[in-house]
Amino acid sequence: MKNKILTTIGAATLLATGSASAVIVGGVDFGAAGALNHFETTTLAETFINGDGQQLLGYGQVNTVNGALGNYAGGDLLYFTFDYTSTNFTGTSVDFINGNVDLYLGSLGNLLNQSSAQNMLDIAALTPWASFSGHDIDGLGNEISANGTLTGATLSFTGAGLLDVTGGLADVVSFLDANSILAGDGLFADVALTTSGNNLVLNTNDDLTGCFNGSASAGQWCIAGSADLRGETVIPEPASLALLGLGLLGMGRLRRKA
């Protein structure tokens, strides 16, 4: 027990004095600083939207975390799925509400080897890691706003939104629940989302009928793109860690006296 207490004190002291050790949360390495979360993806697919009240579905793979390529989870990767509802569609702009984004940890291989529908199912079967819901960005209830060419033979857009962490592994939720981004509703969100996409390079295992000539139907997998999720994190203050070490030291002394 004495060795265990001293080991814990040593770990707390190391962190309190500014260790360069990686910050690993939920099996994901956020790097030495750990003060930011930046999930970068260049593998994203989503369904085509051409009106209001339609369900936007999508999925993707997180390729880097805080710039660390590929090996941020010991051979596993983070994958995500999302769904939103479209509103205020004009053909050059659209907003989205009722958003949900779920991250999972595991390994699936190349997502272009099978259909998007199967990818959605396989990702959802991995280990749940974190869940997010959309946050009001403008005081009007919209959670993502996108602009671009949203109809016709050539589709392209950029978009931005906000998210709140709402569930997942307990340590991940505590780590990401920073409430650091002031939103349009006067409250604070946890994560900023930016995204872009077009209909140029798609999964050939999907039904692409109409995706290149403007005759696609809503719900077809006609969009490929990328997304970034960025925010701050919650890391215990060095002073708190030092107090933890002192508390454990006191416990050790009491046990020796007993």
Does residue 245 belong to any structural domain of this protein?
Answer: no
Considering the domain boundaries, does residue 8 fall inside one? no
Mark out the alpha helices in the chain (DSSP H runs): 2-16, 116-124, 170-176, 238-257
Kindly report the pTM of this predicted structure.
Answer: 0.83
Q: Cβ contacts of residue 167 below 8 Å, gap of 6+?
A: 128, 130, 131, 173
CA–CA distance, 190 with 181 (Å, rounded to integer): 6
Q: Is the model's pLDDT at 175 over the cut of 70?
A: yes
Whole-number Cα distances in Å, 234 to 77, 92, 103, 173, 186 = 22, 38, 19, 10, 21
Domain span holding position 121: 24-234
Say whether pLDDT at 55 is over 50.
Answer: yes
| Lowest pLDDT segment from 24-28, 42-46, 103-107, 137-141 | 42-46
| pLDDT of 127 above 90 | yes
d(CA 86, CA 127): 29
Is residue 209 a part of any domain in this protein?
yes
98 half-sphere exposure, CB direction, 13 A CA radius: 11
> Given pLDDT bands bounded at 50, 70 and 90, which one contains residue 87?
very high
Is a pLDDT exceeding 50 seen at residue 59?
yes
Lowest mean per-residue pLDDT among 67-81, 130-144, 216-230, 231-245: 231-245
> How far apart (Å, rounded) are the C-alpha atoms in residues 152 and 88?
18
pLDDT computed for residue 248 by the predictor:
39
Whether 32 is in a domain gets the answer yes
Question: Which band of pLDDT confidence, cut at 50, 70 and 90, is reported for residue 70?
Answer: low
Classify residue 19: in a domain, yes or no. Answer: no
Report the pLDDT averaged over residues 219-235: 93
Q: Which span out of 2-11, 58-67, 205-214 was modeled with the highest average pLDDT?
A: 205-214
pLDDT in tens, 147-169: 999 999 999 999 999 999 999 99
pLDDT tens-digit readout, 16-47: 333 445 788 999 998 876 667 788 887 899 99
Average pLDDT, the chain: 85
The total number of structural domains that make up the chain: 1
Residue 105 within any structural domain of the chain: yes
- In percent, the amount of the chain with pLDDT more than 90 equals 70
| 201-208 average pLDDT score | 94
- The token pair that represents 101 in the structure block: 């984004």
Within a domain: residue 248? no
Return all residues near 209 (Cβ < 8 A) that are at least 6 apart. 215, 216, 220
The helix-helix angle for 2-16 and 238-257 (nearest 10°) equals 160
Per-residue b or e along 235-257, where b marks 16 or more CB atoms closer than 10 Å to that residue's CB: beeeeebeebbeebbeebeeeee
Whole-angstrom CA distances from 77 to 3, 58, 63 are 35, 17, 7
Q: How far is CA 128 from CA 80, 106, 109, 184, in A?
A: 10, 9, 18, 30
Cβ within 8 Å of residue 204, ≥6 positions away: 112
Asked if residues 143 and 99 have their Cβ atoms less than 8 Å apart, the reply is yes
